[in-house]
Amino acid sequence: MTVAQSGDATNVTEGSTTDTFKVVLDSTPTADVTVTLTADDETSLDTSSLTFTSENWNTTQTVTVTTVDDDLVEGAHTSTISFSVASEDADYSDFSLTDITANVTDDDSAGVSIAESGGATSVTEGSVTADTYTVVLTSEPTANVVVVPTSASGAQASPASLTFTSANWDTPQTVSVLSVDNSLDDGNQTIIITHAASSDDTDYDGIEINDVNVTVVDDDSAGASISESSGSTSVDIDGTSDTYTLVLTSLPSASVTVTLNGGTDVSVSPTALTFTTANWNTPQTVTVTWNAATGDSATITHTAASDDASYNGVSIASVTVSITDGETESCGDGPVASAGSDVVLNASDTVTLSGASSTGCNLTYSWAITSGDGSVSSATSSTPVFTSAGAGTSVVTLTVTDSNNESSTDTVSIVQVSQNVTVVTPSEQIVLSGSNYSVSETAHGSGSITLSFTYDGNEFTIIVPNRSASSLDYNIAITNAGFVVVCLPEASSQEGVCYFSQSTADTLSGLYELNERKSTPSAFNTVSGSQSGDRLGHGIGSNNAGDHVYISAPGASTNGIIRIYELVDGSQPTETGSVFGSLDYPA
């Protein structure tokens, strides 16, 4: 029996090439001959036995050898393939074949692979946002492998160690990197993280692992911050002083001396401030007094000197000092607060209030909500912002205090409505049309507002909260025939004033007035002939297109209601007529 290896040797590679050998009998057997093939655990065969008969004994049979691809680092090694022969032919029954030794090339190598997120690692000083990279072994170890990442100063890596076993060696493990905030203006830095491996597997113990270069983005800048008492610096020629503080914005690498110079106008104490690595973030106080200034202001400059290049000559803002003449300003009879006109706005909107009309000397302002909801920002400003919290009425109280500590208060009412509002002022003309249209007039003073309406089947409401503007009139311009303007007092004892716009007596057709003075009209009287002048406490109006009816605003104690009725039959309004619009004075 002959065994022939290809190329006189059997060479295979893990995970790659295979090889073959051939077997054939040298003579015709008298009985079948079975050759059993056995490989060790390094290789596998495509057949475990070969059978030769008297028919095929001289036909060569081929056996293919394949490596067993493991993940272990073994280097070049061999695999043994053995044979056993069985037959009832005495010549073959005890036949012995020499083992084949296959040469196995290993495809595994020990190594540690690192993958950085986004291809690079970068963190920012002072940020809690970490960057990451992963670590994984390139082959299965024969013992646990511990990888320890170590960061240079300026960054920190976690966890402190990574353990790889024969079970998890090919699962990447994550390392998180954070910056260490040093408060120095040292620019962006590159920090190196090294890695050390230890293991009872000699292939991995002390194996070389690539470093990770971390870019640390600096969040510090050299400079100085100045804080003036009460937001400004003011001195008086009678000796009254003021103060401000100065502090560095980052840790210097060497002491920084800031020299202060007020010229001959004002004196500063001290004249120089020294900041070290220990006190750089502690504000130091500068006291300013009048010296010999002849004007109403002076300037204090600051010059920095240091062996720290970032701080040497760094720009520092100057301080402007206001100078008064030492005489107490007369505040007369005390301040008078003015919180401005009442306001109407949409719910959830904002409005800027104004106390600018308040009088007094050296006023300070304090705004507070004393009724209703909402919020006031910048409450010590003369022009704070009120933010609505929903529909309703809020009262904001302004308190002004002068330099003699005398105070005065005033209030402003803010009506917050749920529908859209258009704010108008005297002499404007508003054309009312569309669904749920609302106009709010908030201006004080005299004048008139023309409110024209065009019938489109939808109602509107005119909200007029400023009942105190008794000299402000509302000119209802009738643009559609078939409507009448009605002036309704809230009660029979109260009077609103309605009158026509004609300055001379005219003969007007389709003119109506109430025959009873109460909130809900039950009947109207037809008015004929020449009509002019005021119509006190009555419903009055015209269904002629182009006619105008003036409505005087009632006094502060009167809640008059103006309504515009659609004529049901085209000739006379009734209490069953639909209300097309109304002008209301809310409480």
Q: How confident is the model at residue 326 (pLDDT cuts 50, 70, 90)?
A: low
Instruction: Please give the pLDDT value at position 417.
Output: 63
**With 0-12 CB in 10 A as exposed, 13-18 as middle and 19+ as buried, what is 142?**
middle
pLDDT, tens digit, for every residue of 329-354?
556 677 888 988 777 666 777 888 88
User: In whole angstroms, what is the distance from residue 382 CA to residue 405 CA?
Assistant: 17
How far apart (Å, rounded) are the C-alpha atoms in residues 421 and 437?
Answer: 8
Encoded tokens for 277:
């690595």
User: CB–CB of 160/123 below 8 Å?
Assistant: no
Cα dist from 437 to 74, 296, 420, 461, 482, whole Å: 88, 55, 7, 6, 20
Of 8, 1, 33, 18, whose CA–CA distance to 100 is shortest?
8
pLDDT mean over 108-135 = 90
Q: Mean pLDDT throughout 9-30?
A: 90
Binned at pLDDT 50, 70 and 90, residue 41 comes out as: confident
364 Cβ neighbours under 8 A, 6+ residues apart = 380, 400, 401
For the segment 355-373, the average pLDDT, to the nearest whole number, is 87
Q: How far apart are CA 341 and CA 346, in angstroms?
A: 16
What average pLDDT does the segment 268-286 reach? 95
Confidence of residue 50 (pLDDT cuts 50, 70, 90): very high
More confident call, 109 vs 31: 31
d(CA 269, CA 258): 12
Kindly state the average pLDDT of the residues 347-373: 86
The answer to whether the beta carbons of residues 55 and 101 sit under 8 Å apart is: no
Measure Cα distances from 121 to 191, 407, 485 in Å. Answer: 10, 62, 77
Among 175-184, 312-321, 431-440, the minimum mean pLDDT is found in: 431-440
Q: Which domains does the chain have, with CATH numbers?
A: 2-105 (2.60.40.10), 112-217 (2.60.40.10), 225-324 (2.60.40.10), 343-417 (2.60.40.10), 422-584 (no CATH)
Residue 327 and residue 237 in contact, taking contact as beta carbons nearer than 8 Å = no
Residue ranges of E strands in 141-290: 145-151, 155-158, 162-164, 173-179, 189-199, 212-217, 224-228, 233-236, 242-248, 256-261, 266-269, 272-275, 284-290
DSSP 280-317: TTS-EEEEEEE-S--SSEEEEEEEEEESSTTTTT----
% of the chain exceeding 90 in pLDDT? 39
* Torsion sign over Cα 295, 300, 301, 303: positive
> For 91, which DSSP code?
H
| 201-259: pLDDT as tens digits | 999 999 999 999 999 998 788 999 999 988 899 888 877 899 999 999 999 999 999 99
**233 class by beta-carbon count within 10 Å (0-12 exposed, 13-18 middle, 19+ buried):** buried
Pairing of the two strands 437-441 and 460-463? parallel
Instruction: Tell me the pLDDT band of 485, cut-offs 50, 70 and 90.
Output: low
Q: Which of 309, 175, 288 is nearest to 232 (CA)?
A: 288
Q: What backbone torsions phi and psi does residue 230 show, to the nearest 5 degrees?
A: 60, 15
What is the mean pLDDT of the segment spanning 67-72?
Answer: 79
Whole-angstrom distance, CA of residue 262 vs CA of residue 293: 10
Cβ proximity of 113 and 69 under 8 Å: no
Out of 92-106, 236-250, 297-311, 508-522, least confident range: 508-522
What is the per-residue pLDDT for 533? 44
Pairing of strands 561-566, 579-584: antiparallel
pLDDT for res 227: 95
* Amino acid making up residue 417: V
Q: Which of 56-65, 332-341, 361-370, 446-455 is predicted most confidently?
A: 56-65
State how far the Cα of 473 lies from the Cα of 447, in Å rounded to an integer. 6
pLDDT of 180 reads 86
Q: Which of 456, 512, 507 is nearest to 485 (CA)?
A: 512
d(CA 97, CA 52): 15
- Give pLDDT tens digits for 490-514: 444 444 444 444 333 333 444 555 5
pLDDT number for residue 259: 97
Q: What is the pTM of this model?
A: 0.41
Sort 452 into a burial class: Cβ within 10 Å, 0-12 / 13-18 / 19+: middle
pLDDT grade, residue 421 (50/70/90)? very low
For the stretch 521-559, pLDDT in tens is: 555 555 554 444 444 334 455 545 455 555 544 443 344
Asked if residue 298 has pLDDT above 60, the reply is yes
Looking at per-residue pLDDT, the higher value among 294 and 200 belongs to: 200
Euclidean distance between CA atoms 218 and 224, whole angstroms = 17
**What are residue 127's phi and psi, to 5 degrees?**
-90, 145
Which pLDDT does position 158 carry in this prediction?
94
Query: Of 7-16, 118-127, 438-447, which gets the smallest average pLDDT?
Result: 438-447
What mean pLDDT is reported for the chain?
A: 77
Task: Check pLDDT > 90 for residue 402.
Answer: no
Range in 80-89, 399-408, 553-562 with the lowest mean pLDDT:
553-562
More confident residue, 438 or 382: 382
The edge-to-edge listing of strands for the beta sheet with 61-67 is: 2-5, 19-24, 61-67, 43-45
